[in-house]
A and B are shown apart, each in its own frame.
Chain A
Amino acid sequence: MLGLEKAAAANGKMGKSKTYCNDYEDYEEGKNAKTLVEDILNDPELPQLEELIIGGWGEEFDESCQPIIDGIAENADKFSHITKIFFGDMDYETCEVSWITQGDYSSLWKAMPQLKDLTIKGSNDLSLGVIEHENLESLTIICGGLGKDVIEEIAKAKLPNLKKLLLYIGIEDYGFDGNADTIRALLADSDFPSLIYLGITDSEIQDELTEVVLESKYIRQITALDLSNGSLTDKGGKLLLEKLPELPNIEILDVHHHYLSNEMMEELQKLSITVNLAEQEKPYEWNGERWYSAMLTE
């Protein structure tokens, strides 16, 4: 746990959280995304909650979570106290990330002006619409491949208080139809004046993206840099070694799940900041070629 979550936990600011999901038996009994939102609305505990976690809604591989988003938007007054939402908190046994059918979040921004923290898992059929929100502080998208259209929506977002942006970029096979220039444009075109945590993660072009991030306007603004879960090698490590000493604002570097050599890890460890170097991976060798994978794709 890094950055904002840690700070919030340490300050004891974590409010009451509840997970809602339909498991397999619920699904067999005919429950779905529509009934799930009804269950949430009928839950007497709802008024006391600060955080909603939406797990599987049933048939996630075929059915979108749109009825849940719509249900929240249509009953906005019942959710006016919710500051944190996670849509799609499920593991591979419920539905692997590349199979989760997401939805269109356009209606959520106006419906939940008090929302501070939004996490979305899955990128199939994902649309964020026109994002305009005064209070959102944290936006996380966990997926195996983030579409260019969604990245462009984020680039145009008006989020003056956004402190944390964490994106799993993923790979082409599972939805990332961009390249390093797509991320370069995101970081150039977006305007997040409060950003202190930038995560461009889970990519198989992690070295290239490291260079892009280090050249971005946010690099002198943020305190936490997250390049984890990708294919970072010594090439990207060398860039970090060269640049980070010139960036006193950066206090935390997270590169866990990486392909750095022991020597490079030792050098990065010498930086006078907190560095997460856990999960040193080895490339998969096949037919004389080396393959470097991102952590979450399928």
Chain B
Amino acid sequence: MERGTVVQCHADRMSGILLMGVGGGKRRYYFEQAAAQKGISVSFLDWGELLASEGEGESKPGHGEEGALAWEKAWSGEGAPSRKDLRRWVVKIDPPEWESSRLSQLEELTGRYGEWLRRLSRLPGGNFLNHPLDIEEVLDKRRCKERLAREGVSVTKMYGESFSCGEELLAFMRDRRIGQVFVKPVTGAGAAGVSALRFSPKTGRIVLYTCGILEGEEIFNTKRMFRLEGKEGAAFLDSLLKLDCAVERWYGKAVFGEYSYDLRVIVQGGRIDYILPRLSKGPITNLHLNNHSMEFGDLRLDQGTMEGIRELCFKAAACYPGLKSIGMDVLLEKRSLRPRIIEMNAQGDLLHRDVYGENRIYGRQIDIMAEMLKNLPD
């Protein structure tokens, strides 16, 4: 966008780009930097203030109008929008900061966050980079994958059954001759609680790779990978399955050198803005686990594979027209390099390799939001 056509955001006009996020975080800093480079200012609302005000008095999650009081209270700063004039704003919703690493609490926090997203969707206006109801749906790995599968998008297979304890899951694996699966809390962010399980029906031996640790009956998320065998693995699995978990097939990932990798693909406004290969020496690939990343071009994938990735991502993005910025985790099957969506993230746009470089992803978001702002009805 040309500088001259930029829609300026002034408090007195009570319109502009609004970021809901976490004060002092990288997401805010690089988003605002991208905006500043284009001569656009960004208003900011801190999730911390919003969530803190929620506990005061009558404003409880689940009560639309009452919840709105917390909303106005948190947004009461000078020049800040109120719910009454939100229609003049284009809003980007970043995730709040999760203060707990306890998985059961993360489930609860995600539920509370989901309530806020629903509340946001009910407010007048509704000019969102990513619509809150779609953000909420995508946060639920099961719902998101079910929608993708319904629409014929190639995804990593999720088993329909649910399991309340390790023995149930192992019996299922024994019956189906399945040797290895992923177990994922459906509402977990990132790799929280994600575990790769291998099971030998003949010997009963199990091994579990996870970045969680079990203390008592509670699982805590860490940034380290652990390998658990025998009773230790079984106890972890039992505790994990007390949460709402999806069980998925474990596919062998494509290999580059001595690493396996998958791709984080950023699709924004009908375009692929970034593809980041994430390398790992273990079955779980996640940038929070200090895995490596590399330039996509260095993979030297053939044209057919590149086209396959492109088509898959556009098809997946088309399932969520309300999301103008999506981070997709794409697995390339070992040998065939057939792409499959592992999961999607409506807030998976922070890639260090990008923000420390061109800051292309946030720059593009600013362009999209400025365009939306320009097209708002008077």
Binds B, one of A87-95, A104-112, A254-262: A87-95
B342 vs chain A, min Cβ distance (A): 14
Binds A, one of B96-104, B249-257, B267-275: B249-257
Contact yes or no, A61 B252, CB < 8 A:
no
Residue of chain B at shortest CB distance from A63 = B202
B177 surroundings in chain A (CB, below 8 A): 59
Cα distance A92–B198 in the bound complex, in angstroms = 11
| A62 with B201, Cβ < 8 A, contacts A23-B335, A93-B252, A93-B253 known | yes
| A24 with B251, Cβ < 8 A, contacts A59-B179, A91-B260, A298-B227 known | yes
| A62 with B334, Cβ < 8 A, contacts A24-B251, A93-B252, A94-B252 known | no
B5 surroundings in chain A (CB, below 8 A): none
Cα distance A99–B179 in the bound complex, in angstroms = 11
B207 surroundings in chain A (CB, below 8 A): 96, 99, 298
A62 surroundings in chain B (CB, below 8 A): 179, 200-203
| A99 with B227, Cβ < 8 A, contacts A91-B255, A93-B260 known | no
A285 vs chain B, min Cβ distance (A): 14
Whether B111 is near chain A, meaning CB under 8 Å from some CB there, is no
Whether B23 is near chain A, meaning CB under 8 Å from some CB there, is no
A54 vs chain B, min Cβ distance (A): 15
Interface size on A, residues (CB 8 A): 12
Cα distance A62–B205 in the bound complex, in angstroms = 10
B205 surroundings in chain A (CB, below 8 A): 61, 99
Identify B334's interface contact among A93, A96, A298, CB under 8 A: A93
A92 vs chain B, min Cβ distance (A): 7
B260 surroundings in chain A (CB, below 8 A): 91, 93
A96 surroundings in chain B (CB, below 8 A): 198, 207
Cα distance A94–B251 in the bound complex, in angstroms = 9
B125 surroundings in chain A (CB, below 8 A): none
Residue of chain B at shortest CB distance from A60 = B179
Contact yes or no, A61 B179, CB < 8 A:
yes
Cα distance A92–B335 in the bound complex, in angstroms = 15
Which B176-191 residues sit within 8 Å CB-CB of chain A? Answer: 177, 179
Cα distance A92–B253 in the bound complex, in angstroms = 11
B126 vs chain A, min Cβ distance (A): 44
Residue of chain B at shortest CB distance from A98 = B207
Contact yes or no, A99 B200, CB < 8 A:
yes
Contact yes or no, A23 B179, CB < 8 A:
no
Residue of chain A at shortest CB distance from B336 = A23
Identify A99's interface contact among B198, B249, B334, B335, CB under 8 A: B198
Identify A61's interface contact among B200, B255, B283, B334, CB under 8 A: B200
Cα distance A61–B197 in the bound complex, in angstroms = 13
B25 vs chain A, min Cβ distance (A): 31
Residue of chain A at shortest CB distance from B260 = A93
Contact with A along B310-349 (1 / 0, CB 8 A): 0000000000000000000000001100000000000000
A44 vs chain B, min Cβ distance (A): 20
B250 surroundings in chain A (CB, below 8 A): 93
Which B236-271 residues sit within 8 Å CB-CB of chain A? Answer: 249-253, 255, 260
The listed residue with most A CB atoms (<10 A of its CB), out of B203, B250, B253, B255, is B203
Cα distance A96–B207 in the bound complex, in angstroms = 10
Residue of chain A at shortest CB distance from B281 = A92
Contact with B along A43-79 (1 / 0, CB 8 A): 0000000000000000101100000000000000000
Residue of chain A at shortest CB distance from B201 = A62
A57 vs chain B, min Cβ distance (A): 13
B72 vs chain A, min Cβ distance (A): 51
| A93 with B283, Cβ < 8 A, contacts A24-B252, A61-B200, A62-B200 known | yes
B273 vs chain A, min Cβ distance (A): 29
B282 surroundings in chain A (CB, below 8 A): 92
Cα distance A94–B200 in the bound complex, in angstroms = 13
Cα distance A125–B286 in the bound complex, in angstroms = 35
A-B CB contact pairs (8 Å), 19 listed: A23-B252, A23-B334, A23-B335, A61-B179, A61-B198, A61-B200, A62-B200, A62-B201, A62-B203, A93-B252, A93-B253, A93-B283, A94-B252, A99-B198, A99-B200, A99-B205, A99-B207, A298-B207, A298-B227
Chain A contact residues, CB within 8 Å of chain B: 23-24, 59, 61-62, 91-94, 96, 99, 298
**A-B residue pairs, 5 tightest by C-beta:** A62-B202, A93-B252, A61-B200, A62-B200, A94-B252
Chain B contact residues, CB within 8 Å of chain A: 177, 179, 198, 200-203, 205, 207, 227, 249-253, 255, 260, 282-283, 334-335
Given contacts A59-B179, A61-B200, A91-B255, 15 further A-B contacts (CB under 8 A): A23-B252, A24-B249, A24-B252, A61-B179, A62-B203, A92-B282, A92-B283, A93-B250, A93-B252, A93-B334, A94-B252, A94-B334, A96-B198, A99-B198, A99-B200
